[in-house]
């Protein structure tokens, strides 16, 4: 699906379009940090997360632990959203405090390498939905273009034919994938001996992941029987992966995918490949502000609480410039994403 087929025609003063929008956003004060708001969010989110684990310890050997596993899957994802915000320096302008919060949220609480995720996510932001540049649409368990689908073989081809039907079940493995990829990023090396993933605090991150794993396994084995601990981990990690995947899937899946032939400025590259999700405060909280994906991609370091206020400014500006602004409901966003996945596998079903 080439972006050139759907992109809007260029307008005059194209190179200055983003600068004009940025000026409006800055004048509205929407790029100003909100430390008080984030302090409250961090305390509340981590407080609920810690309380959940205290409840696990106090409940002990009980099958009600599986219900707590589901609750903690939600809390874990909300902590991961904090790591996302820290990675974009939405909380602090300085790198040090941002990295500290990011590693506490990512490595310690969730068990995901903060450095690996920042590197991967920055590449996504630089070229969203670009098959050759965006790691989120590279061929893997899922394929995102018909060209990728035609290159599959064996089980991968069987999967590609049915990926729209298997998408949500496959998200149950997303949590495990994040943990595995974090470890691979820390220890993985190129043939010449260099580390494959750049990382500023590799040793610290490795130690924090070890500490996370030891604490996770230790608490479960102390609090409950081995069988219950195993089932708790399965439920917790599966639902965490499902929640994470469902939070990120509406943002770009099924949106245009630019190619090397497309010449898009920053404004159009970010807007045309992103989709917003309507739904009010509940959706804002559930999706960690990622439902304002267009605004987030245009201004990655904008505090989460300001995205809602920025939306009408960005939407009006896109209308002025004749740029398509995609916004839909949550269920419809999933329908569009699944329709794209189904269409990608069409050549394999013929």
Q: CA 77 to CA 206: how far, in whole Å? A: 21
- In this predicted structure, the answer to whether residue 14 has a pLDDT above a threshold of 60 is no
pLDDT one-digit tens code per residue, 294-345: 999 999 999 999 999 999 999 999 999 999 999 999 999 999 999 999 999 9
Q: What is the pLDDT confidence band of residue 2, given thresholds at 50, 70 and 90?
A: very low
| Per-residue model confidence (pLDDT) at position 93 | 86
Measure the N-to-C terminal CA separation of the chain; round to a whole number of Å: 18
- In this predicted structure, the answer to whether residue 12 has a pLDDT above a threshold of 90 is no
What Å distances lie between residue 217 and 2, 50, 111, 211, 251, CA to CA? 46, 16, 12, 10, 34
What Å distances lie between residue 270 and 18, 264, 266, 275, CA to CA? 10, 9, 6, 10
Q: Which two tokens mark 32?
A: 């100003």
pLDDT one-digit tens code per residue, 82-122: 999 999 999 988 899 999 999 999 999 999 999 999 999 99
Q: What is the pLDDT confidence band of residue 1, given thresholds at 50, 70 and 90?
A: very low
51 touches 71 (CB < 8 A): no
Share of the chain above pLDDT 90, in %: 85
Strand spans (E) along the chain: 276-277, 327-328
Phi first, then psi, for residue 273 (nearest 5°) are -100, 0
| Per-residue model confidence (pLDDT) at position 11 | 42
The residue-averaged pLDDT of 195-209 equals: 92
Phi first, then psi, for residue 257 (nearest 5°) are -120, 105
28 touches 279 (CB < 8 A): no
Q: 300: Cβ–Cβ under 8 A, 6 or more apart, which residues?
A: 88, 90, 125
- In this predicted structure, the answer to whether residue 10 has a pLDDT above a threshold of 80 is no
User: Among 157-166, 191-200, 287-296, whose mean pLDDT is lowest?
Assistant: 191-200
- In this predicted structure, the answer to whether residue 267 has a pLDDT above a threshold of 70 is yes
- In this predicted structure, the answer to whether residue 278 has a pLDDT above a threshold of 50 is yes
Please count the structural domains in the chain.
Answer: 1
The residue-averaged pLDDT of 4-20 equals: 56
| Per-residue model confidence (pLDDT) at position 99 | 95
| Per-residue model confidence (pLDDT) at position 197 | 85
The residue-averaged pLDDT of 1-23 equals: 58
The residue-averaged pLDDT of 23-40 equals: 94
- In this predicted structure, the answer to whether residue 207 has a pLDDT above a threshold of 80 is yes
| Per-residue model confidence (pLDDT) at position 88 | 95
Share of the chain above pLDDT 70, in %: 96
The alpha carbon of 324 is separated from its chain's Cα centroid by a whole number of angstroms, namely 23
pLDDT one-digit tens code per residue, 134-192: 999 988 899 999 999 999 999 999 999 999 999 999 999 999 999 999 999 999 888 88
Q: Which residues pair with 327 in a beta bridge?
A: 276
Residue keyed to tokens 């329709």: 339
**b/e 280-301 (16+ beta carbons within 10 angstroms → b):** eeebbebbbbbbbbbbbbbbbe
Question: For the purposes of burial, counting CB atoms within 10 Å of the CB of 341, is it exposed (0-12), middle (13-18) or buried (19 or more)?
Answer: buried
What Å distances lie between residue 338 and 145, 152, 253, 342, CA to CA? 13, 19, 8, 6
Which is nearest to 238 in space by CA: 169, 304, 290, 185? 169
What is the residue range of 169's domain?
3-349
Mean pLDDT of the residues in the chain: 92
Q: What is the pLDDT confidence band of residue 349, given thresholds at 50, 70 and 90?
A: confident
Q: What is the pLDDT confidence band of residue 7, given thresholds at 50, 70 and 90?
A: very low
Q: CA 6 to CA 28: how far, in whole Å? A: 32
- In this predicted structure, the answer to whether residue 57 has a pLDDT above a threshold of 50 is yes
Q: What is the pLDDT confidence band of residue 259, given thresholds at 50, 70 and 90?
A: confident
The residue-averaged pLDDT of 184-212 equals: 91
| Per-residue model confidence (pLDDT) at position 3 | 38
Q: Which one-letter DSSP state was computed for residue 301?
A: T
């Amino acid at each position: 699906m080439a972006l050139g087929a759907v992109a809007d025609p260029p307008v005059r003063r194209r190179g200055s379009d983003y600068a004009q929008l940025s000026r409006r956003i800055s004048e509205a004060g929407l790029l100003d940090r909100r430390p008080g708001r984030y302090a409250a969010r961090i305390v509340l989110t981590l407080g609920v997360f810690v309380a959940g684990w205290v409840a696990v310890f106090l409940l002990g050997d009980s099958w009600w632990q599986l219900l707590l596993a589901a609750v903690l899957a939600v809390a874990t994802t909300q902590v991961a959203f904090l790591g996302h915000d820290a990675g974009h320096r939405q909380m602090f302008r300085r790198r040090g405090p941002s990295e500290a919060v990011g590693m506490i949220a990512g490595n310690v609480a969730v068990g995901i390498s903060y450095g690996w995720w920042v590197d991967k996510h920055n590449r996504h932001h630089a070229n969203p939905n670009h098959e050759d540049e965006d790691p989120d649409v590279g061929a893997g368990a899922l394929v995102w273009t018909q060209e990728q689908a035609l290159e599959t073989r064996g089980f991968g081809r069987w999967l590609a034919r049915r990926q729209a039907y298997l998408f949500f079940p496959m998200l149950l493995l997303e949590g495990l994938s994040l943990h595995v990829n974090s470890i691979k990023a820390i220890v993985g090396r190129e043939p010449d001996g260099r580390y494959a993933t750049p990382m500023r605090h590799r040793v610290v991150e490795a130690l924090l992941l070890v500490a996370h794993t030891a604490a996770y396994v230790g608490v479960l084995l102390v609090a409950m029987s081995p069988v219950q601990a195993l089932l708790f981990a399965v439920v917790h990690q599966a639902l965490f992966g499902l929640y994470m995947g469902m939070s990120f899937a509406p943002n770009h899946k099924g949106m245009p995918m630019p190619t090397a032939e497309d010449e898009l400025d920053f404004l159009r590259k970010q807007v045309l490949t992103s989709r917003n999700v309507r739904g009010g405060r509940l959706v804002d909280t559930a999706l960690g502000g990622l439902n304002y994906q267009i605004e987030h991609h245009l201004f990655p370091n904008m505090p989460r609480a300001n995205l809602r206020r920025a939306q009408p400014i960005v939407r009006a500006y896109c209308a002025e410039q004749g740029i398509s602004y995609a916004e839909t409901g949550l269920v419809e966003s999933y329908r569009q994403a699944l329709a794209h996945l189904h269409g990608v596998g069409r050549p394999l079903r013929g």
